[in-house]
């Protein structure tokens, strides 16, 4: 397995371009299943999760071609309704094919995603929602088996706003008969991006970006050509890295509006963050102030930025309280950060972080994507050498992260196994 070696303590300077959003690209690539022709997607990031979803789509009988960051998907040959365990277990987002398959083929057999390092992550809201639209669902041999003669619009209430749940149900409702209302829907930019694509395909969707989405079903959708929005978590990770290393980084090709909450929190730490059009300039302060954060559904502070922000607080002046409300086990990075000298006390879903002068490099590893990103940031800030193993988690969600940091002046290398 590859490793990343960092010699920390360098100030990051220069510019970096943000890649397309992983969590927008995944449902959008899947949405091609709803059409009977060739869709073209630009700005698709080169990530392991994207390769997994492409593998799954190809398995379903769909023609997929990739050239650099452009992916074309022709679902006219869609003929297989089964998403096997071997592919689904590598990526939970595979569950996104459930509703499009039922909408197009009237049936689906999708492996249940297993447990996950950051929490139990059930899919009960996806299943309850699809049942409300008239599908019968059985769980057998580790698979969800769903079928419906026809899908019929209905009102669906999510107990918690779920991102992929909202996306999955939107993809069922666009081809259902009549009107569907999704109440307490997720409002993340990735949900809006998917709705924009579906609308371009001919779907009738209202209220996107609010917590009540109304969808009037249509009988067919047409293929589209679209560009994937920039990755807001990658943007936040680079802004935080600039603040942490007291650097000066111009972050290009991003969407400042999507990271408004992160910008405000970073400003409170003393960083100077300025957005103009699709660029953000992030400059770190000499002294980092402590700031509390609580993760919440969008537009709240994203759980996918909690680990990276914690690293910044590890070397801030004073005490910071971090509260994770989305996933029950998203503190995997804490024990590794403590091995690097961070002073963090966990109590339930809160972490009390007492800033130290400096972190010290150490061999570390993590078992999820954002935890791994936080260890990269810790390594960039630490004195001495940090060796990060299990890098494949990073490759799931960050496009060429070490190359981008190297261009900014970091002493970072990937050691190929
Ligand atoms: N939940 C349920 N039942 C469900 C669905 C969700 O109880 O049927 C709970 C979850 O366990 C969690 C909460 O609802 O406590 C919210 O989870 P959500 O469904 O919104 O998460 P997700 O759709 O599985 C997406 C992102 C995650 C991101 C979360 C929260 C994708 C592919 N994944 O997951 O991204 O953390 O929303 O914003 O969009 C990442 O990129 O590293 C990542 C984990």
Could you give the CA distance from residue 325 to residue 323 in angstroms, rounded to a whole number?
6
Q: Produce one character per residue of 373-385: b if its CB has 16 or more CB atoms within 10 Å, e if not.
A: bbbbbbbbbbeee
Q: Are 258 and 232 in contact (CB under 8 A)?
A: yes
Residue nearest to atom 25 of ligand 1 (CA): 163
**What stretch of H or E contains 216?**
strand 212-216
DSSP 115: -
pLDDT at position 31: 98
Q: How far is the CA of 185 from the centre of ligand 1 (A)?
A: 12
Q: For residue 74, which of 24, 27, 35 has the smallest C-alpha distance? A: 35
Q: Is 116 a catalytic residue?
A: yes
Q: Are 222 and 37 in contact (CB under 8 A)?
A: yes
Q: For residue 112, which of 131, 132, 138, 134 has the smallest C-alpha distance? A: 138
Q: Name 412's bridge partners.
A: 6
Could you give the CA distance from residue 75 to residue 330 in angstroms, rounded to a whole number?
36
Residue nearest to atom 24 of ligand 1 (CA): 164
pLDDT at position 417: 81
Q: Are 169 and 99 in contact (CB under 8 A)?
A: yes
Q: For residue 218, which of 162, 265, 177, 274 has the smallest C-alpha distance? A: 177
Q: How far is the CA of 103 from the centre of ligand 1 (A)?
A: 22
Task: Give the pLDDT of the chain (417 residues) as one tens digit per residue.
Answer: 899 999 999 999 999 999 999 999 999 999 999 999 999 999 999 999 999 999 999 999 999 999 999 999 999 999 999 999 999 888 999 999 999 999 999 999 999 987 677 777 899 999 999 999 999 999 999 999 999 999 999 999 999 999 999 999 999 999 999 999 999 999 999 999 999 999 999 999 999 999 999 999 999 999 999 999 999 999 999 999 999 999 999 999 999 999 999 999 999 999 999 999 999 999 999 999 999 999 999 999 999 999 999 999 999 999 999 999 999 889 999 999 999 999 999 999 999 999 999 999 999 998 899 999 999 999 999 999 999 998 888 999 999 999 999 999 999 999 988
Mutation test of ligand 1: which of 97, 156, 160, 398 has the most ligand atoms closer than 8 Å to its C-beta? 160
Q: Are 26 and 96 in contact (CB under 8 A)?
A: yes
pLDDT at position 303: 98
Residue nearest to atom 40 of ligand 1 (CA): 304
33 backbone dihedrals φ, ψ, rounded to 5° = -60, -20
Whose structure tokens read 């890295």?
A: 241
Say if pTM beats, i.e. exceeds, 0.85.
yes
Q: For residue 241, which of 15, 42, 52, 11 has the smallest C-alpha distance? A: 11
Q: Ligand 1, closest atom to CA 327?
A: 15
Sequence-separated (6 or more) residues with CB below 8 Å from residue 248: 11, 12, 13, 242, 281, 282, 283, 284
Q: Ligand 1, closest atom to CA 124?
A: 8
Using CB atoms within 10 Å of the CB of residue 145, give its burial: 0 to 12 exposed, 13 to 18 middle, 19+ buried: middle
CA-to-CA dists, residue 71 to 25, 29, 36, 197, 297, angstroms:
10, 8, 16, 15, 30
What tokens does 273 get?
């963050």
DSSP 324: -
pLDDT at position 115: 64
Q: For residue 42, which of 204, 193, 238 has the smallest C-alpha distance? A: 193
332 backbone dihedrals φ, ψ, rounded to 5° = -60, -30
What DSSP string runs through 221-253? B---EEEPPB-HHHHHHHHHHHHHTT-EEEEES
Q: Any idea what the Cα angle at residue 409 is, between residues 241 and 274, rounded to 5°?
A: 45
Domains and CATH numbers, the chain: 2-19+230-416 (3.65.10.10), 22-227 (3.65.10.10)
DSSP 159: S
Could you give the CA distance from residue 320 to residue 312 in angstroms, rounded to a whole number?
10
Q: For residue 370, which of 7, 18, 118 has the smallest C-alpha distance? A: 118
Could you give the CA distance from residue 280 to residue 387 in angstroms, rounded to a whole number?
30
Mutation test of ligand 1: which of 162, 188, 192 has the most ligand atoms closer than 8 Å to its C-beta? 162
Ligand 1 is surrounded, with C-beta below 6 A, by: 23, 26, 93, 119, 121-126, 160, 162-165, 186, 190, 303-304, 326-327, 369-370, 397
């Amino acid at each position: 397995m590859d490793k990343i070696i960092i010699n920390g303590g360098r100030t990051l300077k220069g510019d970096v371009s943000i890649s397309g959003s992983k969590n927008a690209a995944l449902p959008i690539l899947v949405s091609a299943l709803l059409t009977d022709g060739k869709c073209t997607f630009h700005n698709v990031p080169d990530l392991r999760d994207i390769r997994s979803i492409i593998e799954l789509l190809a398995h379903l009988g769909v023609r997929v071609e990739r050239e650099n960051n452009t992916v074309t998907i022709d679902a006219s040959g869609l003929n297989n309704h089964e998403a096997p365990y071997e592919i689904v277990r590598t990526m939970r987002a595979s569950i996104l094919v459930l509703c499009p398959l039922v909408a197009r083929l009237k049936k689906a057999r999708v492996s249940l995603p297993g447990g996950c390092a950051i929490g139990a992550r059930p899919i009960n809201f996806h299943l309850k929602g699809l049942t409300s639209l008239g599908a019968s669902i059985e769980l057998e041999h580790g698979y969800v088996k769903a079928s419906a003669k026809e899908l019929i619009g209905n009102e669906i209430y999510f107990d918690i706003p779920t991102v992929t749940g909202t996306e999955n149900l939107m993809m069922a409702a666009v081809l259902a008969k009549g009107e569907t209302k999704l109440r307490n829907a997720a409002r993340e930019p990735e949900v809006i991006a998917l709705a924009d694509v579906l609308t371009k395909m001919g779907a009738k969707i209202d209220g996107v970006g609010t917590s009540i989405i109304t969808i009037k079903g249509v009988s067919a959708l047409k293929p589209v050509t679209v560009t994937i929005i920039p990755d807001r978590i990658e943007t936040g990770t680079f802004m935080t890295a600039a603040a942490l290393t007291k650097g000066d980084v111009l972050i290009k090709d991003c969407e400042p509006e999507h990271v408004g909450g992160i910008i405000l929190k970073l400003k409170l730490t003393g960083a100077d963050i300025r957005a103009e059009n699709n660029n953000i300039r992030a400059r770190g302060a000499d002294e980092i102030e402590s700031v509390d954060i609580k993760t919440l559904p969008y537009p709240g502070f994203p759980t996918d930025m909690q680990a990276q922000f914690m690293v910044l607080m590890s070397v801030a002046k004073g005490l910071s309280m971090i509260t994770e409300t989305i996933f029950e086990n998203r503190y995997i990075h804490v024990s590794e950060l403590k091995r690097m000298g961070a002073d963090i006390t966990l109590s339930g879903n809160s972490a009390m972080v007492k800033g130290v002068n400096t972190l010290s490099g150490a061999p570390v590893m993590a078992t999820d994507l954002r935890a791994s990103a936080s260890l990269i940031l810790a390594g960039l800030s630490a004195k001495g050498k940090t060796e990060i193993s299990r890098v494949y988690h990073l490759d799931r969600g960050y496009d060429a992260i070490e190359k981008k940091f190297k261009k900014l002046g970091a002493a970072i290398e990937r050691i190929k196994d």
